[in-house]
């Protein structure tokens, strides 16, 4: 067992017959959970496996195997189901995975995996890629270009974050958490499993299709609401787009559970207007911020300390400051390093995000590398404007471009095919009324198709591939700028 995990398992042993895990058909008490973990960790140790990939849908098995790997002192590699086949192969090979846990082994034989006498899928490897000492989990960030990058984490860092989250939300008395995001994402793994376990809570685990999420971008709102009302959870973790759907449902008068005490939202910029709408509907939404390199959450708003428009105060286990260029920097427990790269010795970790503080609360501007400079020398963070645009009902997705241009151009994906150009124009006009001139949308184009991983215009988890979008729409943008120049000469 990883030494830092001993306190977690001791804590679990104090919970007795309280329900720990449930999937609607099956449930395990904390005592039964520990019995299962003992059996599975012993199986893993007998197998000789060292690095175990979890290629499972959300469910009780995912949590059991994740904790069993931790208890066995081995390395866990969660495999996101929304990764492409090429990305999945990259994860298996780059991390030197020698054991695979899955309910669907189809195709993995081509990677050399065969079923062992213990029923595990394993493959012999001549040599394992070296890992930083203490690595117990490798989480892969999808990124915006190239192959996913492996972030190596130890047990202590993950559990320090979970402990801080448990303390930050303790006043809400969370006793029942519903996992909405894929467990292979670190946010749900740490904040949706480890933190609730520390609280002695019941964790509700449903297949992603039952939650209403299919792939990386398809969302079935009625199914999501059915599950919410059936489970009646105290807490959820949502991405901004899911929160937008939930708030919209509340505004339409659709039935929502009355049990909700803490809805955490993160993973992307959240427009203050959306948080104000949530508050008006009585939804207990608290924005946070984090990154895989810090084992997920760094800052969080709480019932005691909350300021809409910020991502909250730094959690108690770390410090946050701003660099000379306003880049957010973090000091405290963090990753051991990137897989295959030398360890970084800097005391402060640069996040690549820009921001400022208001009375200790962190306000984010956007990604440092996404900021563009207009032809008039104005710095614009496009994520700010894009977040405002998708608040408008007619607009599902938006990309803003203005690097070295005299005018900003947005490419808009309508909510559905029936949305007219007039409706899009009115939505843009409403947003422009709230923006300074240099950040306004001066021209817009209707997108040819939604931005998705399939057409390489977005990552698997929905982040825009800005370089690809620029290449796709460059000709149309150039044509707009020719018109802009001719107007200027008139």
Which DSSP string do the residues of 221-245 spell out, in sequence order?
A: HHHHHHHHHHH--SEEEE-HHHHHH
Residues 472 and 443 in one domain: yes
Identify the domain boundary among 320, 344, 363: 363
Q: What pLDDT sits at residue 217?
A: 52
Residues 247 and 126 in one domain: yes
Q: What pLDDT sits at residue 461?
A: 67
Query: Can you name the residues that pair with 265 across neighbouring β-strands?
Result: 238, 287
Identify the domain boundary among 337, 363, 389: 363
Nearest to 286 by CA among 271, 268, 266, 269: 266
Q: What pLDDT sits at residue 430?
A: 95
CATH number at residue 296: 3.40.50.12780
Residues 31 and 95 in one domain: yes
CATH number at residue 392: 3.30.300.30
Q: What pLDDT sits at residue 65?
A: 98
Residues 304 and 339 in one domain: yes
Residues 336 and 448 in one domain: no
Cα–Cα distance between 171 and 178 in angstroms, integer?
18
Cα–Cα distance between 41 and 64 in angstroms, integer?
10
Identify the domain boundary among 363, 398, 433: 363
Q: What's the number of domains the chain is made of?
A: 2
Residues 55 and 120 in one domain: yes
Residues 411 and 320 in one domain: no
Tokens representing residue 269 in the block: 């910029």
Cα–Cα distance between 335 and 348 in angstroms, integer?
12
Nearest to 438 by CA among 391, 466, 463, 406: 406
Tokens representing residue 84 in the block: 């492409």
Cα–Cα distance between 228 and 25 in angstroms, integer?
16
Nearest to 438 by CA among 363, 384, 489, 366: 384
Residues 321 and 424 in one domain: no
Residues 286 and 402 in one domain: no
How are beta strands 51-55 and 99-102 bridged, if at all?
A: parallel
Residues 254 and 141 in one domain: yes
Residues 434 and 307 in one domain: no
Tokens representing residue 171 in the block: 């006043």
Cα–Cα distance between 159 and 138 in angstroms, integer?
15
Cα–Cα distance between 95 and 338 in angstroms, integer?
11
Q: What pLDDT sits at residue 489?
A: 36
Q: Per-residue pLDDT for the chain (490 aa), expressed as one digit of tens each? A: 788 899 899 999 999 999 999 999 999 999 999 999 999 999 999 999 999 999 999 999 999 999 999 999 999 999 988 777 888 899 999 999 999 999 988 888 888 899 887 889 999 998 999 999 999 999 998 654 457 899 999 999 999 999 999 999 999 999 999 999 999 999 999 999 999 999 999 999 999 999 998 755 568 999 999 999 999 999 999 988 889 889 999 999 999 999 999 999 988 778 888 999 999 999 999 999 999 999 999 999 999 999 999 999 999 999 999 999 999 999 999 999 999 998 888 899 999 899 999 999 999 988 888 888 887 778 888 988 999 999 999 999 999 999 888 899 999 999 999 999 999 999 999 999 988 888 899 999 999 999 998 899 998 667 899 999 999 999 999 888 876 544 333 3
Query: 0.85 cut: is pTM over it?
Result: no
In 85-234, beta strands by DSSP E: 99-102, 114-115, 121-122, 137-141, 149-153, 176-178, 202-204, 213-214, 218-219
19: CB partners within 8 A, 6+ apart: 27, 28, 29, 30, 202
* Residue-range definition of the domain harbouring residue 241: 3-363
Residues 132 and 237 in one domain: yes
Do 295 and 153 form a contact (C-beta atoms < 8 A)? yes
Query: Can you name the residues that pair with 263 across neighbouring β-strands?
Result: 236, 285
């Amino acid at each position: 067992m990883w030494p830092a995990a001993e306190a977690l398992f001791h804590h679990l042993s104090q919970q007795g017959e309280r329900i720990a895990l449930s999937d609607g058909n099956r449930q395990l008490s904390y005592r039964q959970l520990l019995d299962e973990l003992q059996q599975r960790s012993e199986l893993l140790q007998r197998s000789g496996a060292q690095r175990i990939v979890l290629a499972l849908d959300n469910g009780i098995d995912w949590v059991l195997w994740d904790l069993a790997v931790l208890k066995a002192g081995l390395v866990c590699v969660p495999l996101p189901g929304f990764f492409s086949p090429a990305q999945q192969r990259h994860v298996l090979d780059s991390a030197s995975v020698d054991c695979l846990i899955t309910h669907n082994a189809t195709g993995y034989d081509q990677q050399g995996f065969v079923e062992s006498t213990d029923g595990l899928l394993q493959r012999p490897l001549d040599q394992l890629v070296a890992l930083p000492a203490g690595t117990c989990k490798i989480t892969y960030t999808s990124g915006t270009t190239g192959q996913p990058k492996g972030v190596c984490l130890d047990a202590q860092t993950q559990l320090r974050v979970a402990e801080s989250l448990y303390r930050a939300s303790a006043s809400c008395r969370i006793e029942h958490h519903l996992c909405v995001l894929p467990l292979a994402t670190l946010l749900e793994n740490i904040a949706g499993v480890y933190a609730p376990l520390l609280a002695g809570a019941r964790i509700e685990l449903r297949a992603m299709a039952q939650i209403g999420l299919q792939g990386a971008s398809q969302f079935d709102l009625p199914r999501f609401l059915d599950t919410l009302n059936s489970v009646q959870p105290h807490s959820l973790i949502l991405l901004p787009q899911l929160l937008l759907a939930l708030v919209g449902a509340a505004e339409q008068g659709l039935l929502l559970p009355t049990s909700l005490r803490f809805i955490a939202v993160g993973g992307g910029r959240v427009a203050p207007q959306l948080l104000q709408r949530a508050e008006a509907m009585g939804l207990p939404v608290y924005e946070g911020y984090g990154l895989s390199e810090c084992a997920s959450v760094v800052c969080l708003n709480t019932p005691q300390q909350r300021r809409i428009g910020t991502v909250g105060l730094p959690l108690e286990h770390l410090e946050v400051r701003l660099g000379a260029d306003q880049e957010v920097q973090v000091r405290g427990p963090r990753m051991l390093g990137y897989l295959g790269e030398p360890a970084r010795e800097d005391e402060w970790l640069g996040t690549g995000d820009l921001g400022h503080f208001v009375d200790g609360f962190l306000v984010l501007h956007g990604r440092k590398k996404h900021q563009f400079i207009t032809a008039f020398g104005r710095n614009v963070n496009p994520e700010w404007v894009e977040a405002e645009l998708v608040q408008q009902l007619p607009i599902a997705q938006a990309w803003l471009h203005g690097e070295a241009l005299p005018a900003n151009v947005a490419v808009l994906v309508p909510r559905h095919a029936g949305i007219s150009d007039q409706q899009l124009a009115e939505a843009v006009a409403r947003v422009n009324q709230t923006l300074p001139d240099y950040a306004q949308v001066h021209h817009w184009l209707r997108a040819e198709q939604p931005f998705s991983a399939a057409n390489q215009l977005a990552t698997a988890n929905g982040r825009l591939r800005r370089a690809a979008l620029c290449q796709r729409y460059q000709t149309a943008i150039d044509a707009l700028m020719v018109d802009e120049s001719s107007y200027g000469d008139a």
